[in-house]
Amino acid sequence: MKLLGYWRSSATYRVRIALNLKQIPYEYEPVHLLKDGGEQHSEEYLTLNPSHLVPTFIDEDEDVILNQSLAIIEYLDERFESGEKLVPSDCLYKTKVRALSYDLACDTQPLANLRVLQYLTNDLHHEDNVKGQWAKHWTEKGLAVVEQKLKNTAGNYCFGFDITLADVCLIPQVYNALRFGVDLDKYPTVKKVYENCSELSAFIDALPENQIDAG
Ligand SMILES: N[C@@H](CCC(=O)N[C@@H](CS)C(=O)NCC(=O)O)C(=O)O
């Protein structure tokens, strides 16, 4: 198993958490998103993943190369019995877990993606500080939705006391939020879940700062 990604990429961070929760050993290959204009745009990388984005996941046993962190995580969850079951089997519960995950990974994170922020300054010629303002604004909008939902579903984690795909998506988003200067006290349930997950080794080992390419 090989994961190609970047230490600060929240999509890569999700897959790292999931691999740890599933207790799946893997090799990590850094793809630097900034060096030389971004290694995600190199010809070599594009043969593996034409999206110009990380992560890419390679399962050599099955001869398969995958992109899209949520698809990768669902693949791992179905292929491996080990560790936590991240996507429940009950139809309604599964749908709610996915919906919260999409609130974070589809409706929040992409708005503050590197290429979006670069477009604001490089192509639309906004001042550099607009990037931070933009990222903070959309992250706050996203977290407000999540906070509202978590009030009805959270226990220690997003859904009661089960660790699910939703927690795997929430923690990297909060990590970004803190980088963007979001005040987490405005989202007390999000903060509580974040603090609970942050005590678990699967989440600690996946932290950007703990990766070989951090810095
Ligand atoms: N929906 C994709 C998003 C992947 C994504 O946005 N990757 C970012 C890092 S978190 C990236 O590679 N950005 C590079 C760029 O914007 O040039 C997933 O969940 O895998």
Same domain, 41 and 134: no
Q: Tell whether 23 and 118 lie within a shared domain.
A: no
Q: Which atom of ligand 1 is nearest to the CA of 41?
A: 17
Q: Which residues contact 213 (CB under 8 A, 6 or more apart)?
A: 6, 7, 30, 32
Specify whether 129 is located in the same domain as 167. Answer: yes
Q: Tell me: the pLDDT tens digits for 175-205?
A: 999 999 999 999 999 999 999 999 999 999 9
For position 127, what pLDDT does the model report? 97
Which residues are bridge partners to 56 per DSSP?
Answer: 4, 67
Given this model, what pLDDT does residue 109 score? 98
| pLDDT cut 90: percent of the chain above it | 100
Tally of domains within the chain: 2
Q: State the residue range of the domain holding 12.
A: 2-84
Q: Are residues 139 and 177 in the same domain?
A: yes
> Does any domain span residue 96?
yes
Give nearest CA residue, ligand 1 atom 13.
53
Per-residue pLDDT at 143: 98
d(CA 113, CA 29): 21
Digit-coded pLDDT (tens) for 30-83: 999 999 999 999 999 999 999 999 999 999 999 999 999 999 999 999 999 999
| Ligand 1, residues at Cβ distance < 6 Å | 9-11, 33, 38, 40, 52-55, 68-70, 105, 110, 113-115
Considering the domain architecture, whether residues 161 and 106 belong to the same structural domain is answered as yes
Residue 131 lies in a domain: yes
Euclidean distance between CA atoms 154 and 159, whole angstroms: 5
Average pLDDT of the segment spanning 155-160: 98
Closest CA to 7 of 193, 140, 176: 176
Helix, strand, coil abundance in the chain, percent, nearest 5: 60, 10, 30
Q: Within 13 Å and on the Cβ side, how many CA atoms surround 97?
A: 22
Contact 1, 201 (CB under 8 A): no
Confidence (pLDDT) at 104: 98
